Amino acid sequence: MYRRILVPLDGSKTAEKVLPLVKVEGESHQATIVLMRVIPPLRSSLMMPPKFLEQIAQQASEIARDYLEGVAAQLRAEGLSVEIEIQSGPPAQCILDFAENTQCDLIIIGARGETGAIRWRFGSVANKVIRARTTMPVLVVST
Partner 1 sequence: MKQNVILRRLLPALLSLGLALALWYGLSLTVAYTEGRQVSLTGRVIDRHGEPVRGAKVSLVLNGHPFGAGAANEPAPPLAESQRDGTFVVDLPAEEVGAIEALVLEISRPHFKSLQWEAGDDEIARLNRGESLRLPDMELSRRMTVGFWVATLTFVAILVLIALEKLHNTMAALLGVAIILGTTFVGGAVSPDLFIFDFERALEYVDFNVIFLVMGMMIVIGVIEETGIFQWLAYQSYRLSGGRAWLLVTILMLITSVASALLDNVTTMLLMTPMTIQIALAMGITPLSLLIPEVLASNVGGISTLIGTPTNILIGSYAGLSFNDFLTKLTPGVLLAQVALTVYVLIRYRKQFLVRGGELSEALLNRLRESGRITRPAKLRKAGLIFGVMLLLFILGERVHLVPAVTAILGAVAMLLWVTPDIESMLKVVDWTTLMFFISLFIVVGSIQEVGLISIITGVIGRLVGSNLTMAILVLVWSAAILSGVIANIPFTAAMLPVVGSLTRTIPGASNQVLFYGLSIGSAMGGNSSLIGASANLVTAGIAERAGYRITYVEFFKIGMPAMIITVAIGTLWLFIRF
Interface contacts to partner 1, rule CB under 8 A:
10-12, 39-40, 42-52, 54-56, 59-60, 63-64, 67, 114-118, 120-121
CB of 137 to partner 1, least distance (A): 27
Our CB check for partner 1 shows the closer of 88 and 134 to be: 88
What contacts 23, CB < 8 A, 6 or more positions away? 75, 78, 80
CB of 33 to partner 1, least distance (A): 20
CB of 127 to partner 1, least distance (A): 18
CB of 66 to partner 1, least distance (A): 9
Sign, CA torsion 3/129/15/21: negative
Distance CA 18, CA 27 (A): 14
Give the containing element (helix H, strand E) for 51.
Answer: helix 50-77
Our CB check for partner 1 shows the closer of 59 and 102 to be: 59
Our CB check for partner 1 shows the closer of 63 and 136 to be: 63
Distance CA 15, CA 143 (A): 7
CB of 59 to partner 1, least distance (A): 5
Our CB check for partner 1 shows the closer of 58 and 81 to be: 58
Our CB check for partner 1 shows the closer of 30 and 52 to be: 52
What contacts 93, CB < 8 A, 6 or more positions away? none
Distance CA 7, CA 110 (A): 9
